[in-house]
A and B are shown apart, each in its own frame.
Chain A
């Protein structure tokens, strides 16, 4: 299936290669580099690139291209999903998945890749199994290993491999038993010129951090489970129980995992927590343009809108922008024409604004395009869909765990057209 993997950084250097069958020369990446050159943006590189003898399938994560080499028929999504799983595993192991992290941990990376694929077919991708085979590097362990010569590699077959719950290892022990769940919702929206919502959807996830001794069996119920008619589960969730009772029943993996992701579609009304008032205009024959932007809260259920970041790609004809923000800082890159304004928190009493002028290239005509405004924000303690966890119960173990639920709403792909 997957023949080889190349890791390519933003400047086009191959900094890691791994082959699961016979070696494929790295010159195969030339086709990939051609595609990168043709693409205007890094994101625009086609995910699947056919070449005379191979097919290259890539994903771009953390400014690294993961390029898989394929020689015969395989569902492309299979490869794409697997590559994402590789990145997730690296993040899980090293905290971040950057070029530096991969280079610093190159041996662990290699050991991981060796375990994750056999002859190009996925072997062990479950984080709990991998962690028993190869222990994640920690400073302490590195020091100890150097002194004692002991290793990071497990000598026994991970218990998960043979069990019906491959995601959980046996013999887990904690002195503090805790289970935390984060309900995080992202709003994807397009707002039109006049401020009305064209489309708005919620992408939600429940991420969990469960540190419980033994083999706990959890159930999580919601006050309003009918909100979620469109869900995908971690393999640990018992589907039948959900179908019948709308209760999440599962033996959790140990540590961090994504329990559930869900989608609240555009048919339901989505509360839009912020509004943007804008006036971006150019006059015919003038080399100046006007720029005015004001943000305000709307339907936030009394919660504060924080970490607000506004960005906008201004038309190519714009030479420079001379603006003054009422709060926060803004930058304008005259080369990429990217304007970004780090607003911070929105104070409903004193609305943040960014006003000023833009200068156009002399002689350039009034731009045809209208820039769109991209918005990022966070609202703590609010799930915008109204989803609420009712209770969390544990069976199968005797101790009383500490339980916590946190809610958060964020902007996903939130765009305002002008």
Chain B
């Protein structure tokens, strides 16, 4: 009732003639919305004020409308005429905000009005209003997908827009509405590449990601040696091969994209840096990127940047560990192992477990240190912390599988541990190990089975399954000593509560105990159970996500997120590059940039243009626009000569690897989560 009272007061305030009271009421209502309280009852009182003269009241009414219009569709229609009037206002800010609110009201009945408004705004004089139109496109599309075809027309129109303000927003709309219409990009490709550096940072990310996909459909894979395939086909006719063999030449447009994105590696925005890095990863010749994530070789000089601090969040620790493990090689392994040793003493037990696994992976990857690692891990078996011991057991088990003959003493040591270790996974691992190599420990194995038979009923399921396994293997190799024990274990298992265990017991009994009914398989029981098994490959938890575009949500989750666009494979032969050519004036401009490298063009322009433009900004809109284009042409002529010399001065061999690695490391420091995307 208190809430009700409050609402009545606010209704009265809204109905008053004083703007200050209205404003106060709207502020209280917005505060309610922010807290998640329901304020929908006030809708009639609020909607009346949509035409209020006070701009702050008006803005807060907009906030309210957008929040509740969906629930109060009929009442919301009362406000529409105000917005329609707003769309015609001489002030561009008011036109834009009218369109923003109109397109944010999710009321299906006004779809035609929205469509009309968007179309008109798309040809507005003010680039800010056109930007708002681009934003409105995905809103309308999600409200009514049937408008798609008309919206695509608007997108096509806005893609041709030459201002940086619109570029990011329209590409965003393109990505949401018609990401498969790559053909719409052709004519705008060079323009987008050239505008890129001056687009605001969020738009840059979207454009770079889209262009990555575009490039994968239009250009040839720079990393495939074309000549080799030709040689193979025409082995006999060597003369023709020589003629046919064309060395790979990168499409100048492909080069343009790589060159124009490069300076953005200096962006303060980690998302932009990441976008450029993924672009290079997916599009650049190997010589220019190293093989970033695959071989990680380029990160090697930065090994120490990935050393772990006790204050790092766990997920960062685990990522850094992953990087260090991937960087390990014969040369640096001793340093890395020394570092790992300090990690094992950490108080963060999840991290200790991950470190032990990392040691295991180093041991499998680098044969020279296998024994050292194994000995280190065996020492951990006497650690006081059970989790440490358990994790070590699991890793040792995997390592021993690679060369069991030499390590029967370790197996014996592990057999003794079974009395103390409680962690089920570790117990199961030890039992499996003893069963698998029971011939190396003929005296101990039956005794372990005896103890396990005793505790069988109290064990976890995974342990029970391994006890049955151990029993079966011993029965096959040493039935004299273990026949009765095995029978006993199988009987216990037969009446277990768990399906799987009952099933397994029945299955194993049929296999190993010869009866009249048991079929031909009985003869092969030993081969079935004691076959030589391949040693496991210790794998990174980050593997298997290569097929996703680097840095995407899908890549991070390793699952396809809604709206994810597959990165296409390179085409076998390049589609016609002339589709990107544009009319006379533009094509001249594009060629110039191809030749001279436009990175600085935008940047350099900024200063001088800035001064002029700022002055004109205060003048009327149309004027400011025309003066901008004047500036542009003026600037361009100056530009040409300057950047030409610059290019000549520029060193040819840029150390891409170093640059990229630097930025990755830097980004990692800036927002550590970047690492998520890099190391699969």
Count of chain B residues near A, Cβ 8 A: 119
Tell yes or no: A146 within 8 A of B by CB: yes
Bound together, the chains give a CA A22 to CA B209 distance in angstroms of 26
Q: Which of A56-76 contact B (CB under 8 A)?
A: 70-76
Bound together, the chains give a CA A415 to CA B205 distance in angstroms of 35
Tell yes or no: B27 within 8 A of A by CB: yes
A109/B345 in contact, CB under 8 A: no
Write out the residue numbers on chain B whose beta carbons fall within 8 Å of the beta carbon of A18: 34
Contact (A231, B266) CB under 8 Å given A50-B557, A149-B19: yes
Bound together, the chains give a CA A104 to CA B624 distance in angstroms of 40
- The minimal Cβ–Cβ distance linking A187 to chain B, given in whole angstroms, is 12
Contact of B271 among A16, A77, A190 (CB under 8 A): A77
In the assembled complex, 26 residue pairs joining A and B whose CB atoms fall closer than 8 Å, in A order, are A40-B348, A41-B314, A46-B315, A48-B557, A48-B676, A73-B553, A73-B565, A74-B553, A75-B274, A77-B271, A77-B671, A77-B674, A80-B673, A81-B270, A114-B62, A149-B54, A162-B624, A163-B617, A232-B268, A232-B670, A235-B201, A239-B599, A243-B600, A368-B345, A368-B385, A374-B311
A199/B617 in contact, CB under 8 A: no
Contact of A315 among B269, B307, B347 (CB under 8 A): B347
- The minimal Cβ–Cβ distance linking A212 to chain B, given in whole angstroms, is 13
B135/A123 in contact, CB under 8 A: yes
Count of chain A residues near B, Cβ 8 A: 112
- The minimal Cβ–Cβ distance linking A115 to chain B, given in whole angstroms, is 9
Tell yes or no: B422 within 8 A of A by CB: no
A312, closest chain B residue (CB): B310
A48/B20 in contact, CB under 8 A: no
B310/A121 in contact, CB under 8 A: no
Write out the residue numbers on chain A whose beta carbons fall within 8 Å of the beta carbon of B33: 110
A369, closest chain B residue (CB): B347
Bound together, the chains give a CA A84 to CA B670 distance in angstroms of 11
Tell yes or no: A249 within 8 A of B by CB: yes
Write out the residue numbers on chain B whose beta carbons fall within 8 Å of the beta carbon of A296: none
- The minimal Cβ–Cβ distance linking A181 to chain B, given in whole angstroms, is 16
Write out the residue numbers on chain B whose beta carbons fall within 8 Å of the beta carbon of A46: 315
Q: Which of B265-306 contact A (CB under 8 A)?
A: 266-271, 273-275, 301-302, 304-305
Write out the residue numbers on chain A whose beta carbons fall within 8 Å of the beta carbon of B542: none
Highest count of chain B CB atoms <10 Å: which of A106, A153, A162, A171: A162
Q: Which of B133-180 contact A (CB under 8 A)?
A: 135-136, 138-139, 142, 164-165, 169, 172
- The minimal Cβ–Cβ distance linking B639 to chain A, given in whole angstroms, is 11
B672, closest chain A residue (CB): A47
Q: Which residues does B use to contact A, with CB under 8 Å?
A: 18-20, 23, 27, 30-31, 33-36, 54-56, 59-60, 62-63, 67, 70, 91-93, 96, 100, 103-104, 106, 126-128, 132, 135-136, 138-139, 142, 164-165, 169, 172, 197-198, 200-202, 205, 209, 263, 266-271, 273-275, 301-302, 304-305, 307, 309-311, 313-315, 339, 342, 345-348, 383-385, 551-554, 556-557, 559, 561-565, 599-600, 603-607, 609-611, 613-615, 617-618, 624, 646, 649, 662-663, 665-666, 669-671, 673-674, 676-677
B266/A48 in contact, CB under 8 A: no
Q: Which residues does A use to contact B, with CB under 8 Å?
A: 1, 14-19, 21-23, 26, 39-41, 43-44, 46-48, 50, 55, 70-78, 80-82, 84, 106-107, 109-111, 114, 118-119, 121-123, 125-126, 146, 149, 151-157, 159, 161-166, 168, 170-171, 188, 190, 192, 198-199, 201, 203, 215, 217, 229-236, 238-241, 243-244, 249-251, 258, 261, 263, 265-267, 313, 315-316, 365, 368-372, 374, 396, 413, 415, 417
Contact of A239 among B263, B271, B552, B611 (CB under 8 A): B263
B301, closest chain A residue (CB): A267
